[in-house]
Structure 1
């Protein structure tokens, strides 16, 4: 029954594409040429095509930039063989994933986009992948004219108010992952069994209790590093700010961690930096204390290990990430560390100041130098909208990576993680209607989501695009200070914390931080006027 339904949906998609593309003329492309023209062909749907159909007679290879380490067990290649057979049949194209691996990913990603390399599809995010900054550098093609023709289902599916949040200089720069339910608010994943052993019976909702937990690990779990983090992770300061202020991070990248926030939800148009008041001093003191107590490795700033793998192996007691990661790790840990009862301390639990993520937390853009923009969007449309392609990209091969029972996904008998695991890290267009529910979802997921829904506030900066032009030099200099001085403060390796913070602030001032803040405030004032005038 399921396979018949899937086939019917795929046929329906092909028919919709045929109708949508019939009699359309090819829009002018922005900055590149393409061999796709509005002439007759049968390749797009496998059916006889009327006059005016897009020409897909020339086979094309489409690249897609993904974040993550390339899988090494051979399953990825097996799945992509199936994906590419379908893409060849439907749009006469092949998909190649271009991986940006996690080691030094921020630098590699931004350098790739700045290089002018002719990549096609690009995973983007306005809140963690510098999308607006890269748009300002001309990294992407506008999509306004292309989408209605080459991705018509997606074009109609995304409402106008959501497209509005994807625009830079009034042009669409990305396709949002706006139809996928997820929570990406961060916190600490920790072992519930160990917390109980240390006398912590209630959920952890503050950093003082977390310290008690870490001390319990240090005292009672020989050979276990309480938090086996490394100096390239800046999540602890962002989390502390979330827990002890009502500040909302602005989509302005300053490297390892963000320096600039909106004051609060009620004062969302007031630029604020918690690094200039006691928030950062208190944090620095706490991290110095934790480092001195041995809550992480002595060589934390040079350590490059995988914190999550260490958690799964029972060699550390926490991992810092978001809700979606927690839900997946809860299931993994139940198998890898039976009885661990993995729990989650959302940073917002301290003050119940949860802000929903931006709908552009995940998305896909089109490279400015793409040689095949039209075909690239046709491939994207199939990945997002065609159930068969979607499930291959997200779940792998039925019978190998998953089986379906009562409409839910389960691991096949004999599934081995190292041998059989597949992932493509497609985070730029998942969609609820094509999802197959995970039969192994943690039983507490619904209650957790419901608790979030009770307190959440909408993300207020979806349409705020910071123009760094007037302060480009200052922003670069400030980012360099963050990279050079930040890690040592974050992990208590900068000596006296008060002096370290004072030195950090002095360096920021020299770099032009005051001018940068003034420009942010100026643009927030203009943003406020625009928002209020649109009501």
Structure 2
């Protein structure tokens, strides 16, 4: 049977981008303060619906504040002004957008809820963008089927039942999933000028990748420059080479972006959970990273460098590669080649004999603050964002006639590039336009080949692919476990330890002391209950 841990790749990459999720919040006190508001808000909406009949009251203009994760695109104020022309016309509401940058969302996301900041909507996703943790803290408004069908009728009609199923935690919905799924596994964006210089014509396996990284060090070059680009996700994805023979997949909602608790995603009958320390593969990987660090392939300051500068590091000669999902890797590769053609950047994914897991609908979505003053209009705003073609075009492509033009065949051509950022929470696959690309680059051609292979080899689903862990009962242990990340996790993943085996043993003791087994036991209890309910 073909195997692949695409899901684990994505989650492990996400884990490397999101450390210490909500670790600073005391879940019990926060939960007591916030959670009751969900019931109050739902009761208020229900009473208002009964009074108003089936037609929502939009006579009073309201302002909706929305948080997105990412960097503010240039000219976004112009885009938003045009979006607001539509929202004011359609639902008598305007949208105010605030941003949590890639470098700050881990620390600030939970503070928006614990500090009771006045806002309405926020981007969310399982594991890497705080969905399960925020639900556990009582931060998101529960969305009942009656509320969705009344205030988000177009979304309700378009999204398949499985999307809402994926969004449920303990049988309740707390997010609007995006109407979009994709097969978009991890890829390495590599300087092929260095490959040629060091005698490599291609990279088709983990052994090839390791040899290239070591050659970088031996020639005075860094393989990677930021801790998030450590190749653990690549290593654990190489099932065909025996790096992950048991099909480990991270269990959604568990600590540190699903980095420590796993299930066998390739055996439909297996629901037994295991921990990172049951994996001999992890110890093997850490020894290889130590070998690379000793060879000079990993810089001594790798734990302190700025994630947001990773493309700059590559173009400036400080890194041989960086990691991202295949679509984003393609975009950045083209950008670097345009500015620095001497780098000859290309994208690589060397899981040729594997199958790939399609993303969940919940991989991107929008949550509603439990303390919103305008829950009905917030839902109506989401309905409009997700199903209005004009808004979809504006937020994904920019302004028609300025950034892009529509072709007779329905494709679009770029006039002035617009770097769209985080419209993913309402992205609708039925409404996204295709790019007309008469001058495809070598990167584009490689992407199309890889993408075709992905969709031809989609992995069968496992029931636990839809599971979301509720951390409420073990929130203290989760915070303690995640607090150990910077001390052990990244130093091991990047080879920055003196004694690998001793450090792994210390790491295991630290997580066990923090309560990892309690978390595993609670997760197993929930998994068993979840699986029983599916029968």
Shorter chain as denominator, the TM-score bin is 0.7 to 0.9
1:497 alignment partner in structure 2 = 500
2:347 to 344, 347, 360: 344
2:236 to 238, 241, 246: 241
Deviation at 1:391, TM superposition (A): 0.8
1:22 alignment partner in structure 2 = none
1:153 alignment partner in structure 2 = 154
1:487 alignment partner in structure 2 = 490
Instruction: Answer with 1 or 2: which has the greater Rg.
Output: 1
1:131 alignment partner in structure 2 = 131
Deviation at 1:291, TM superposition (A): 1.7
Contact 2:229–2:323 under 8 Å retained in 1:
no
Q: How does 1:256-267 map to 2 (within 5 A)?
A: 258-266=259-267
2:357 alignment partner in structure 1 = 355
1:74-98 deviation per Cα after TM superposition (whole angstroms, max 9, x unaligned): x111111111122112211111112
Aligned-partner SS, 2:139: coil
Sort the Cα spacing of 1:122 and 1:215 in 2 relative to 1 into closer, same or farther, 3 A: same
Contact 2:127–2:258 under 8 Å retained in 1:
no
CA distance in 2, matches of 1:360, 1:143: 15
Q: How many residues align?
A: 481
Residue 299, structure 1, aligned to residue 301, structure 2 = yes
2:67 to 65, 81, 87: 65
Q: How does 1:184-195 map to 2 (within 5 A)?
A: 184-195=184-195
1:277-296 deviation per Cα after TM superposition (whole angstroms, max 9, x unaligned): 32221121111122222223
Q: How does 1:38-437 map to 2 (within 5 A)?
A: 53-71=55-73, 73=74, 75-144=75-144, 145-177=146-178, 179-206=179-206, 208-218=207-217, 225-230=222-227, 233=228, 236-243=231-238, 244-245=243-244, 246-255=247-256, 258-266=259-267, 268-305=270-307, 306-313=309-316, 315-338=318-341, 340=343, 342-346=345-349, 349=351, 352-406=354-408, 407-412=410-415, 415=416, 421-437=418-434
Q: Which has the higher helix share?
A: 2
CA distance in 2, matches of 1:504, 1:111: 28
Sort the Cα spacing of 1:90 and 1:204 in 2 relative to 1 into closer, same or farther, 3 A: same
1:6 alignment partner in structure 2 = none
CA distance in 2, matches of 1:449, 1:140: 35
CA distance in 1, matches of 2:65, 2:196: 49
Residue 478, structure 1, aligned to residue 481, structure 2 = yes
Task: Give the TM-score taking structure 2 as reference length.
Answer: 0.82
1:356-384 deviation per Cα after TM superposition (whole angstroms, max 9, x unaligned): 22221111111101111111122222211
CA distance in 1, matches of 2:476, 2:106: 19
Deviation at 1:350, TM superposition (A): 7.1
Deviation at 1:322, TM superposition (A): 0.9
CA distance in 2, matches of 1:234, 1:101: 18
Structure 1: where are the runs of 5+ without partners?
Answer: 1-26, 41-50
1:488-508 deviation per Cα after TM superposition (whole angstroms, max 9, x unaligned): 222222211111111111112
2:436 alignment partner in structure 1 = 439
2:22 alignment partner in structure 1 = none
Task: Give the TM-score taking structure 1 as reference length.
Answer: 0.82
Residue 30, structure 1, aligned to residue 42, structure 2 = yes
CA distance in 2, matches of 1:199, 1:79: 47
Aligned-partner SS, 2:524: helix
Sort the Cα spacing of 1:112 and 1:135 in 2 relative to 1 into closer, same or farther, 3 A: same
Which one is further off, 302-311 or 331-340?
A: 331-340
CA distance in 2, matches of 1:328, 1:395: 14
CA distance in 2, matches of 1:370, 1:422: 30
CA distance in 2, matches of 1:352, 1:115: 45
1:48 alignment partner in structure 2 = none
Structure 2: where are the runs of 5+ without partners?
Answer: 1-38
1:249-287 deviation per Cα after TM superposition (whole angstroms, max 9, x unaligned): 111332266101103421641101233332221121111
Contact 1:35–1:58 under 8 Å retained in 2:
no
Contact 2:164–2:173 under 8 Å retained in 1:
yes
Contact 1:31–1:369 under 8 Å retained in 2:
no
Deviation at 1:240, TM superposition (A): 2.7
Contact 2:330–2:447 under 8 Å retained in 1:
yes
Contact 2:176–2:367 under 8 Å retained in 1:
yes
CA distance in 2, matches of 1:337, 1:314: 11
Deviation at 1:399, TM superposition (A): 2.9
Sort the Cα spacing of 1:452 and 1:139 in 2 relative to 1 into closer, same or farther, 3 A: same
CA distance in 1, matches of 2:131, 2:431: 26
Sort the Cα spacing of 1:82 and 1:38 in 2 relative to 1 into closer, same or farther, 3 A: farther
1:29-69 deviation per Cα after TM superposition (whole angstroms, max 9, x unaligned): 426679987899xxxxxxxxxx9643222211111221112
Sort the Cα spacing of 1:433 and 1:362 in 2 relative to 1 into closer, same or farther, 3 A: same
Aligned-partner SS, 2:430: helix
Sort the Cα spacing of 1:34 and 1:423 in 2 relative to 1 into closer, same or farther, 3 A: farther
Task: Please report the RMSD computed on the Cα atoms of aligned residues, expressed in angstroms.
Answer: 2.9
